[in-house]
Amino acid sequence: MMNAKVQSLKAFLAGAGRVALVEVAGTKGSTPRETGAFMLVSGSATFGTIGGGQLEYMAIDKARQMLFSPVEGEMAAERPEGVVSEGTAGASSTAAATPPGGFAATLPSRGRGTLDIALGPEIGQCCGGRVELLIQLVDPALEAKLVAAAEAEEAQLPHVYILGGGHVGQALASAMALLPVHIVVVETRAEALKGMPEAVETKLTPMPEAMVREAPAGSAFVVLTYDHALDFLIVAEALKRRDAAYVGMIGSRTKKATFRNWFLKSADGSEAAFARLVSPIGGDAVKDKRPQVIAALAAAEIMTALAGHAAAPSAQSKTPRRKAMAG
């Protein structure tokens, strides 16, 4: 199943006409995005982001200068006074007031150029760092490289298994469909899988606990079926996975206590394994029990757990860093 981001990238490249790639080639100090972050710019649209704000507006202007220069691939060294990029409604042009050193541009060679931008008051930002941007025209070879990189990044996305497609499961799938994860909704009822977001993978199975055993290392498991006994069975299986990034179960403190009693006495569980269970999902600081609210809180909790797992030394050695498009 193709990730929505890869589909969107292919659709943009197919329909945008001439396109320029704007990539963060280097950073110093505090910056909105990391090295390797990129966006694509066409004459009327953009795909992705390098952090927003004036930094992005300036980059879009420079990219469009390159796209529409009478000289193939030429990029002006100074931003024209009064220019506001197409597709950036509400942006004000501060080029005329930008003092020397606010940013510097180098003329490109064969459709490539760089911007070195200080993120200070000169351009209306207060990050305090410095960003080097590489801007280049996208040719067929670079297009193929972009798609291949997106597909490779997709293959490395952490998996989030939502075991149960009821009201909260539907809301959680929708909330997480926007995030850089691979979502799998597992159900025993076919009707509960209807209406899931397009980016979500669905699995219909009479044995959802088997999906837990087959999941990749570093996965997150969120258990919220229609049956407490089934919840307990799946959670017990998930807690056997010492490589799981997150194991959560919907319910109350009473349900968690009941599960603990069963887990320790009837499922050969241990206190150490039980301590890894997150329940109720999303915490109990917010008392609002509407599915969308629970989903928002749980999504933040899951992403925090995945980030912590990825940062662990054992995980770092398995997860390749994203390579920049430059070169």
Q: Mind giving me the DSSP string for 86-127? A: TT-TTPPP-GGG--TTSEEEE--SSSEEEEEEE-SGGGT---
Radius of gyration of the chain from Cα atoms?
Answer: 24
Q: What is the mean pLDDT of residues 226-240?
A: 97
Q: What is the mean pLDDT of residues 43-59?
A: 90
**pTM score:** 0.77
List the structure tokens of 126.
Answer: 């207060």
- Rounded CA gap, 283 and 183, in Å? 21
The answer, yes or no, to whether residue 279 has pLDDT greater than 70, is: yes
- Minimum mean pLDDT range among 27-31, 46-50, 204-208, 305-309: 27-31
- Rounded CA gap, 130 and 25, in Å? 11
How does residue 215 score in pLDDT terms, banded at 50, 70 and 90? very high
3-state SS string for 188-257: CCHHHHCCCCCCCEEEECCCHHHHHHHCCCCCEEEECCCCHHHHHHHHHHHHCCCCCCEEEECCCHHHHH
Q: Which helix (H) or strand (E) holds 314?
A: helix 313-316
Q: Which domain holds residue 240?
A: 158-316
Domain-terminating residue out of 112, 136, 152: 152
Domain-terminating residue out of 152, 186, 210: 152
The answer, yes or no, to whether residue 204 has pLDDT greater than 50, is: yes
pLDDT at 95: 33
- Please give the distance of CA 326 from its chain centroid, rounded to a whole number: 21
Largest Cα separation within the chain, whole Å, is: 77
- 325 domain-assigned: no
DSSP classification of residue 132: E
Domain-terminating residue out of 152, 175, 200: 152
165 with 143, same domain: the answer is: no
The answer, yes or no, to whether residue 242 has pLDDT greater than 90, is: yes
- 321 domain-assigned: no
How crowded is residue 14: how many other Cβ atoms within 10 Å of its Cβ?
9
**pLDDT tens, position by position, 77-98:** 444 333 333 333 333 333 333 3
pLDDT at 326: 52
Q: What is the mean pLDDT of residues 272-297?
A: 95
What's 211's domain CATH number?
3.40.50.720
The answer, yes or no, to whether residue 315 has pLDDT greater than 60, is: no
The answer, yes or no, to whether residue 266 has pLDDT greater than 80, is: yes
Q: What is the mean pLDDT of residues 46-59?
A: 89
